[in-house]
Structure 1
Amino acid sequence: MANNQKKITKLSRRDAIKLAGLSSFSCLLTSSKVEASNIVEPSNAKGKILIIGGGLAGISTAARLVRSLENPNITIIEPNPKSVSYQAGNSFIAAGIFEKSDILYKTRDFIPESVTVIKDKAMQFMPDENKVVLSSNEILTYDFLIIAAGLKLDFSHIKGLEEIEETYTLGDSSKILKTFSDSGITTIYNTDAAYSTWIQMQKLIEKAKTNKNLKAIFTQPNTNIKCAGAAKEIVSLTHSRLVESNIRNNVDLEFCTSLDSMIEVEVYNKAISEQFTKRDITYNYKHNLISVDIKNKIASFEVFDDKSNSIKIVDKNFDFLHITPSMKAPDEIMNSKLGLNKTWFPVNRETLQHREYKNVFALGDIIDAPMGKTGGSIRKQYKVLIDNLILAMEDKELSAKYDGYTVYPIITDIGKTMLAEFNWTKEATPSFPLDATKDRYIWWLAQMYLLKPLTQYGMLFGKA
């Protein structure tokens, strides 16, 4: 770690929860907003349930189903032994505050004993026959199917980075690390690359101590992405590290997003853009990264020009480049009959039931809900899905509804976080009687110390 790093004193989980108990944030663990209730009367509904994906969405769903059914018959298909992590921690890794070990879990540690786990990948889907074919050619049958496969990071459409192809947040990161190497190019959306981001950030800082004309560029693509707040967080964290080293004026920071706003909710959009302006961080809308010349350090963008109603190509030199890649649902799922030729997995956005196959449900990053690709969204979705799945198993009408709730804890500084909560109304829906647009130390503490145990000991046990 660089000597100029701001010292962050880490609290034990016990001390963090004690701290929360002394503050209004303690209600996160107990309030109705979190809905941490136990299943009182398990259903006697029966059926063979197959879950594709053993990440946060898949394991949380399995854990709650075990508690919701008298005789559960549940199988999870997951190839990665470390498929679950506190993904919000990637930003802390990139800023030198967390180590990778601080956010990684072993998948097996959180799967109920009664749940069967098959370490393999589902490759073919035959929903008319209620069958799934694994990469080993084993064929599994089901009565009910839950898709919780997450999404993939897609670098294949960026010229110069095609060799990376598609990858995941966890798993094999060799192509990313080899391609980026020591070029100053980074991404926090892969955990290994997030650690590399911290290394590259330190090198930027050292270089800025003797050079006053450096450029750091940060991008956001033209697809839906998970944890969209993180694309802005890395800008603010880089700003913070430069400020504490007294070299902020030596590095020009520029955020380029393909969207026409920072975030779809206007009150948060206004707060973030005003903060960027105050900190002299340039931000450009309708800028979509299409090419990276690694050797010459040039990033090329398609820029939509409102005046001429046309697209032009703009080249930008960089010393440090953070890429938020395009993201997509896995091809093996979307190219099957289940995909219905859609970009994202087609479900009724309220009931989370497949639009055509009524014994198929889905949740998490893969679904085509217009918002909600966060862990906070899953916390709402998996309860709705399970309630409706059991109703379907009992041959009853589905009644549980997901309202599109999502939450982005957006780091604005080392020591401050903005808690952005909203739903499909695109209006702020704060859980606390505080100004939702103000960044606070209490939300920083929550993001660092409480959300991980809430995930581990709440969601992954089907309780929160």
Structure 2
Amino acid sequence: MATVRVVHRQPALWRQCHRTAAIGICHLHTSSSSHAPSKEHYKVLVLGGGSGGITMSARMKRMLGAENVAIVEPSEMHYYQPIWTLVGAGAKGVASSGRPTASVVPSGVKWVRSRVQEINPDTNTVRTGNGMEISYQYLIVALGLQLHYEKIKGLPEIEDWVKFKIGSNYSVQTVEKTWSALQNFKEGNAVFSFPNTPVKCAGAPQKIMYLTDAYLRKTGKRAKANVVYNTSLPVLFGVKKYADALWEIVKSRDIQVNLRQNLIEVRADKQEAVFENLDNPGETKVLEYEMLHVTPPMGPNPVVKGSLLADEAGWLDVNKETLQHNKYPNVFGIGDCTNLPTSKTAAAVAAQSSILDRTISKVLKNEKPDRKYDGYTSCPLVTNYNTVILAEFDYSGQPLETFPIDQSKERWTMYHMKADVMPHLYWHGLLKGFWGGPGPYRKIMHLGMK
């Protein structure tokens, strides 16, 4: 019997379903919210209603019929999280990022409005928080990852983030607080952190840094500001082509970048942030701040980590090319919960969904999967209120660009794509199971040579 790791209760601010944003929209659905113990069976059971879960529910409905598919998700709202970068900078409203989960669950698919309590792949069953036991023939795990704000000393005790000028673009409860801190900035250090853990959208912590720099210039406050980016990484960005371009931007805008620095404590009463030097453990540096943007440590979903499906680090253990589980052939994974060695983004989910759809269709026919996921992911690096560097790359960290231009250059066309085109593609393409990434278009644009 799989065990479940106990997660201690945190204040409401910290209790969230942490997962990647989802893409799609449908209207009619069936739901289950009864607390009476019951048993149900589905051909395909999907765990998680983020981008990966909703997308695969839509695809499985088309493949097998809605009556054969169920999805387990407790949240009443579904969020397109990539837009939170712009919400935190005041360029978009937070309301634009969310829609009721009821509107994105595919019509006819059974929606179990509860959290996943336990997964037992040996008996092909899942137990939910409302007492249901659901058996399955095939399981798709899309449970996302967990944010751990509580691992930063002093942060959970802070009741009023606005008062202490702290924000974080990584949760719906805190993203607008980033905009408040930015608006209330007077003079001093604007500090941005990147944790010593895997994170979703690894470019996001520096996107808000560039937008803060732009906002302070626009409002005449930049001369009295010191913009500081403290990252736990040994590089500014993982792909050299884009890192080189970002270093040029950092230098031209007089932004201070400190590598291998990890945020371990916030002293709100003094407006101080404490960072540990990862190259010399135990050595710390205290920075006073006028504004602090926190990127929290992140980790595996606790239900996945506490199950037989996890690898040694707690992530869902899947084949990196087919997304099929390495031990249980009737289990599949997608998105942030997996141990796929690529960046955790909604763009990665899109590309994975196309491959996983193909993998499952082959498995259903007792055939061998014949398409391979190359690790494609994308990170639109917002560098101003009207420019973006569109980073696209694969497992090897090599650029895998859609357009036949140099995407390491700042472009307003890519900003328009980030701010306006991608949200539409998410809600009406990805979540409905119609968008599987730009692969086919890349071939066309590069005349079949990529």
- Identify the TM-score tier after normalising by the shorter chain: 0.7 to 0.9
Partner residue, 2:365 = 394
Q: Contact 2:59–2:432 (CA<8 Å) still a contact in 1?
A: yes
Q: Which letter does structure 1 place at the counterpart of 2:392? A: E
| Alpha-carbon shift at residue 71 of structure 1 (Å) | 7.1
Correspondent of 1:182 among 163, 171, 177? 163
Residue 426 (str. 1) matches residue 397 (str. 2) = yes
Residue 357 (str. 1) matches residue 328 (str. 2) = yes
Residue 327 (str. 1) matches residue 298 (str. 2) = yes
Q: Contact 2:167–2:176 (CA<8 Å) still a contact in 1?
A: no
Partner residue, 1:297 = 271
Distance 2:241 2:65 in 1: 46
Residue 76 (str. 1) matches residue 71 (str. 2) = yes
Q: Contact 1:94–1:188 (CA<8 Å) still a contact in 2?
A: yes
Q: Contact 1:417–1:441 (CA<8 Å) still a contact in 2?
A: yes
SS of residue in 1 equivalent to 2:151: coil
SS of residue in 2 equivalent to 1:295: helix
Q: Which letter does structure 1 place at the counterpart of 2:71? A: I
TM-score, length basis structure 1: 0.82
Residue 87 (str. 1) matches residue 81 (str. 2) = yes
SS of residue in 2 equivalent to 1:217: strand
Distance 1:105 1:401 in 2: 32
| Alpha-carbon shift at residue 191 of structure 1 (Å) | 2.0
Residue by residue, what CA displacement relative to the aligned partner does 1:52-107 show, whole Å, maximum 9, x if unpaired? 00111111111122222367610000000112x22121011111111111111111
SS of residue in 2 equivalent to 1:182: coil
Segments of structure 1 that go 5 or more residues without pairing to the other structure are: 1-45, 164-175, 209-213
Distance 1:78 1:381 in 2: 20
Correspondent of 1:155 among 149, 153, 167? 149
Structure 2 matches for 1:429-448, cutoff 5 A? Answer: 429-448=400-419
Residue by residue, what CA displacement relative to the aligned partner does 1:400-426 show, whole Å, maximum 9, x if unpaired? 211100000110011101100001121
Residue 198 (str. 1) matches residue 179 (str. 2) = yes
Correspondent of 1:346 among 308, 317, 335? 317
Distance 1:289 1:179 in 2: 19
Residue by residue, what CA displacement relative to the aligned partner does 1:193-250 show, whole Å, maximum 9, x if unpaired? 111111111001xx23xxxxx1111000111111111111100110011001122110
Residue 61 (str. 1) matches residue 35 (str. 2) = no
Residue by residue, what CA displacement relative to the aligned partner does 1:409-458 show, whole Å, maximum 9, x if unpaired? 11001110110000112111111011121010001111111101101111
Q: Contact 1:351–1:402 (CA<8 Å) still a contact in 2?
A: yes
Residue 49 (str. 1) matches residue 44 (str. 2) = yes
Q: Contact 2:67–2:110 (CA<8 Å) still a contact in 1?
A: no
Structure 1 residues 332 and 70: CA distance shift in structure 2, 3 A: closer
Q: Contact 2:49–2:72 (CA<8 Å) still a contact in 1?
A: yes
Residue 270 (str. 1) matches residue 244 (str. 2) = yes
**After alignment, is 101-110 or 335-344 more displaced?**
335-344
Moved over 6 A (4+): none
Correspondent of 1:112 among 78, 83, 106? 106
SS of residue in 1 equivalent to 2:152: coil
Say what the alpha-carbon RMSD is for the aligned residues: 1.6
Distance 1:329 1:311 in 2: 26
Correspondent of 2:215 among 241, 249, 258? 241
Q: Contact 1:50–1:74 (CA<8 Å) still a contact in 2?
A: yes
SS of residue in 1 equivalent to 2:383: strand
The count of residues paired between Structure 1 and Structure 2 equals 395
| Alpha-carbon shift at residue 263 of structure 1 (Å) | 1.3
Correspondent of 1:318 among 289, 296, 321? 289
Distance 2:251 2:360 in 1: 47
Correspondent of 2:347 among 364, 376, 384? 376
SS of residue in 2 equivalent to 1:60: helix
Q: Which letter does structure 2 place at the counterpart of 1:365? A: D
Distance 1:74 1:326 in 2: 34
Partner residue, 1:27 = none
TM-score, length basis structure 2: 0.85
Partner residue, 2:233 = 259
Identity of aligned residues (%): 32
Distance 1:357 1:189 in 2: 32
